[in-house]
Amino acid sequence: MKNFIATIALTWLVLGGHVSALKPGQAIPNHYIVQHHSDLSADDVKKIETLLRAPANRHATFKPKGILKKYDIGGFKGYHVELDPMAVPALQKSNLIKQMQPDAVVSISSPITLPDPLPMHITKRDDGSVPANIRRIPTYTWGQSRLSHRRPKEPDFVYEAGGSTAYVIDTGIRTTHVEFAANHSFSGSRAVWGMNFIDGSPDTDENGHGTHCAGTIGGSTKGIAPLTELVAVKVFDAQGNGPWSGVLAGLSWVVEHARANGRVGRAVVNMSLGGGRWSVIEEAVTAAVNAGVAVVVAAGNAGQPVNTTSPAACPDAITVGAIDGSDLRCPWSNYGVGLDFFAPGADIDSAWCGSDTDYRTESGTSMAAPHVAGLVAYLMQQYGPHTPLQMRERLNSFGTMNMVQDAKDSSNAIVYNGNGAYLTEAAA
């Protein structure tokens, strides 16, 4: 399925007491993201907040709500606001404000239908040895196998036991799914609920996209890091729709949660989402990375240069394109300078939201990114805390190079888990 949050979506929102249909490319009326400079004094911040709360026309029938949400993502400081359009020009001229952009809605795009993958089984490492702490699982995907071998089409998946924390900013997670059942490291489900930013929606996945991504990251039979903890951060509804302001709120919550729970350097964020270029989200991702949280994003499914979409164009994100089982870049996968790694993205079988035993095969860069997020979680367990830069360097050091066909100026590297070994730079 072409499950990549790629377009401004047609959805229904209640705005100012009226129901409005938003067409692709349209902004949410009267809603803005305001980013101020991060080094402002407390007095200057109060000045901004006063401006954002003050109505432009006290006699107007439309009474904007002003500040709806504050953001604090490391060096990214800002607000989600509802404003009278007459107030916008003055705010844009303020030397206290770094940038101001309309909020907009993004959505999951249409599916890609591909043939079913072949079944596989576990054997050994490339060198014939078996790791002492090896885990064997009854069923899994070709994507797991690809990440545990230098060559494509090997009939096994080998990994060493390990896990950490992965935040999934998406449609939520069906936390009761059998893929996330307790193991020797967790007394309850390894998938837990973090935060829900969709008003009126239940704390579960009503769409399936987030559960699928979580299963690839850390499912017990489908995941790259089968022992990792998974945290659901819901920013999209049952139709896969949600505003950029909600994505920012989710990322802000993740950074705050990681700091408060000692997970900085031990956690990764998966963001299988995006749209046109939107500098605010790129600034926020950079701030999260600078705060010590690794961020993995999908490259996009438009078959275009990766610098046409956000957050994939953010240089501080780990941007992932999709390959098929023959190491060919999927024709719909974005490409080019700024794409950091390739990972399996065609015919990926993973958990789904219909029941606790529901599975579905999907295709897209939304499916490729969780392979890398899972690998980041896996390597953090094996080696301990990493800064995002250290993790990027480790992924580069261990990557399988020059195997992708039709990479189109992308970094020609397929991520690799070391086939269950405790890797060292010397061995790589």
The one catalytic residue among 148, 363, 366, 411: 366
**pLDDT of amino acid 74:** 87
Spell out the domains of the chain, with CATH numbers in brackets.
Answer: 30-105 (3.30.70.80), 142-414 (3.40.50.200)
CA geometry: angle at 227 spanning 123 and 260, to 5°?
A: 155
Cβ atoms of 319 and 297 within 8 Å: the answer is yes
The pLDDT tens digits for 109-122 are: 444 555 444 333 33
Rounded Cα distance between 340 and 5, Å, is 19
**Both tokens of residue 143?**
């994507």
Within 13 Å, how many C-alpha atoms sit on residue 125's CB side?
Answer: 18
Q: What residues have CB less than 8 Å from 301, skipping those under 6 apart?
A: 2, 4, 6, 109, 112, 322, 332, 333, 334, 364, 365, 366
Tens of pLDDT along the chain (428 residues) come to 444 433 333 333 333 322 235 543 678 999 999 999 999 999 999 999 998 987 666 666 778 899 999 999 989 999 999 998 888 888 989 999 999 999 998 876 444 555 444 333 333 344 544 444 445 444 466 566 667 555 555 555 444 544 589 999 999 999 999 999 876 555 678 999 999 999 999 999 999 999 999 999 999 999 998 889 999 999 999 888 889 999 999 999 999 999 999 999 999 999 999 888 899 999 999 999 999 999 999 999 999 999 999 999 999 999 999 999 889 999 999 999 999 999 999 999 999 999 999 999 999 999 999 999 999 999 998 888 999 999 999 999 988 899 999 999 999 999 988 764 444 443 33
Q: In terms of DSSP H, where are the helices of 294-400?
A: 365-383, 388-398
The one catalytic residue among 170, 237, 327, 349: 170
Within 13 Å, how many C-alpha atoms sit on residue 92's CB side?
Answer: 10
Rounded Cα distance between 417 and 411, Å, is 18
**First vs last C-alpha separation in the chain:** 34
Strand partners, 335: 305
Three-state DSSP at 390 gives helix
pTM across the whole model: 0.85
Where do we find the tokens 């888990």? 417
Rounded Cα distance between 320 and 298, Å, is 5
**Both tokens of residue 396?**
């580069």
Three-state DSSP at 82 gives strand
The one catalytic residue among 177, 209, 212, 257: 209
Query: Is residue 18 flagged as an active site residue?
Result: no
DSSP code at position 190: S
Q: How would you classify residue 206: left for phi > 0, otherwise alpha for psi between -120 and 50, otherwise beta?
A: alpha
**pLDDT of amino acid 126:** 47
Separation in Å, CA 399 to CA 85, 214, 391, 426:
49, 23, 12, 14
Query: Is residue 209 flagged as an active site residue?
Result: yes
Rounded Cα distance between 48 and 96, Å, is 7
Query: Is residue 347 flagged as an active site residue?
Result: no
**Both tokens of residue 301?**
């499914």
